[in-house]
Every structure is written in structure tokens, then in C-alpha cells.
Amino acid sequence: MPEITHRAPNCATAPKAGNEGVYHLQLKPGDVPGYVLLPGAPERTTVIAKNWDDVREIASYREYKTVSGTYEGVKLAATSTGIGGPSSEICIHELRTLGAHTCIRVGTTGSIVPEFDLNDLIIPVACVRKDGTSVTYVEPEFPAFADTRVVMALMRACEKLGFRYGLGLSYTTGSFYIGQGRPLNEDGSGYWPSFAEKLIPDLQQARVTNIEMETAAQYVVGYLHGMRMGAVLSVIANRALNRWGDDGG
Ligand code: URA
């Protein structure tokens, strides 16, 4: 008779991965400390951790890669969120179940104002919630805002390191192309609704500083789960001058 092994039954409300970790991040309690940095791309976790000590790659599955380590004696982790609100929601939720309490998105963005050019850093104090994910958590009038203590810490770090930075109001959208005012074809043919044409001028009127795809969802989901959230975004597109310069932020 083949030997029958018994595993604890999995449950649908909080599914576990094959390694008994949380389903998508594949991390177990104790794998991440309270402070977690959140790049979008998996390869950026390793770049972020290059000046850390005791660096360990803990898990890598789909868009989610996690490395942990210490910096000046403080335990840290970096977990990639993937692109957009849905994958960010999964990441923040699962990190929270593991005890993470303070998360900082380390990402990229497109500037729509002359004050921020390529390579500048924007710290969004709040976001317009066009992410499409945060409305599944709470009504659209609820604000998406950063934790003031995290914003202050990021400002201090930028001052100390001599980076050009400023505070911003981010437009977070669930689209990279039409929803950010990018036509299908350069000659203007194809689907190109009037709202897409007017998007950037209208946001400029409303004094929005930049466009990206994750921050609002992360701020709202994190806040509702009792976390301190913040973000620092490197400008890789200048939509006013139609310039692109992605050196990885
Ligand atoms: N990320 C975005 O979502 N848009 C940009 O233009 C640049 C980075």
C-alpha cells in the first residue's frame, strides 16, 4: 500500500502556497520584518538590497520577489509588487498578514509639470484614485494619502543624499496607454476618445504633478489595514516635453 501523507487542508479564504507560506508571495511568518520597500519590478529588489548586509533571497514567484537584509542594523525587506493595483493589493494584504507595518513604494512615474524633470524624485502626499482596485475596498470619495511620518522621513533622506525632489499629487490609473493619454498609433488613428486627448491638460489644471499605476491602491489598502504607507517615485517620463529616460530610477 502506498503511504498516505496528511497535509493540513487548505482553505479558500486564506490559501497557502505549497511551502505553507502565503499564497502569492510564498513567505512565512518571520520571513519579513516590519519595514518593507516595494519596487514594481522583481529585479529591482536585488538592486535595492545591494548596500544591505546579510542579504537573503527568500522567495520568487510570478511578479513577487522578496529579499531581506539589514541596513545600519535595521532589518528590512524588499518585495516587488508587479504592475498596477490588483497585484499591489495582493502584495500589501499578504505582507500585512505577516506583520509588515511600514511600506514604501520605490517606483517610477511620468511627470506632467515643468517642476519635475527626468531623474527627479516625487514623494506623493496623496493620489487621485483611478487605480480601479481601491474602489473594491472603500467608496471612491475616501482619500488616498501617505503617512506623514513616512513623508517626513523620505524628505530627510532626499535632503541628506542631495537628491532633487518635491512633494506631489499623483494620478494613479489602471492603464499605461489610453488611460495615460498615449494613443495607439503616432498618426492618431485608432481608438482615441476625447477624454484621452484632454486627460493631461485637465490634470495639469487640477495641479496634479505626475501619473503612475500603483500608489493610490497601495495607500488605500495599506491605510485600511492599519499600515504606514509612503512612496518615492523617480521621474522617467516628461509628458510635457514628450521625453523618456528610464535608467531604472
Ligand atoms: N510609469 C507610468 O505608469 N507612466 C509613466 O509615464 C512612467 C512610469
From the list 89, 94, 212, 214, the catalytic residue is 94
207 tagged catalytic: no
CA distance linking residue 65 with residue 225, whole number of Å: 22
Question: What's residue 9's pLDDT?
Answer: 74
From the list 93, 101, 182, 225, the catalytic residue is 182
Checking if the pLDDT of 141 tops 90, the result is yes
Q: In the structure grid, which three cell numbers stand for residue 104, read together? A: 514604501
Segment 61-115, tens digit of pLDDT: 999 999 999 999 999 999 999 999 999 999 999 999 999 999 999 999 999 999 9
Checking if the pLDDT of 2 tops 70, the result is no
Domains of the chain plus CATH, in order, are 20-100 (no CATH), 108-249 (3.40.50.1580)
Question: What's residue 247's pLDDT?
Answer: 75
Query: What is the DSSP code string of 127-149?
Result: EEEESSSGGGTS-TTS-EE--HH
What is the position in ligand 1's atom list of the atom closest to the CA of 173?
3
Segment 42-70, tens digit of pLDDT: 999 999 999 999 999 999 999 999 999 99
Q: Which residues line ligand 1 (CB under 6 A)?
A: 108-110, 176, 180, 211-213, 236-237
Contacts 24+ apart (CB under 8 A), 9-16: 14/97
Question: What's residue 3's pLDDT?
Answer: 60
User: Cα of 144 to ligand 1 centre, how many Å?
Assistant: 19
User: Cα of 237 to ligand 1 centre, how many Å?
Assistant: 7
239 tagged catalytic: yes
Checking if the pLDDT of 186 tops 90, the result is no
**How would you label 85-109 residue by residue, b for 16+ Cβ within 10 Å and e otherwise?**
bebbbbbbbbbbebebebbbbbbbb
Q: How many of the other CB atoms lie within 10 Å of CB of 244?
A: 11
What is the position in ligand 1's atom list of the atom closest to the CA of 239?
6
**pTM flag (> 0.85):** yes
Checking if the pLDDT of 169 tops 90, the result is yes
Decide: 84 and 174 in contact? Cβ < 8 Å. yes
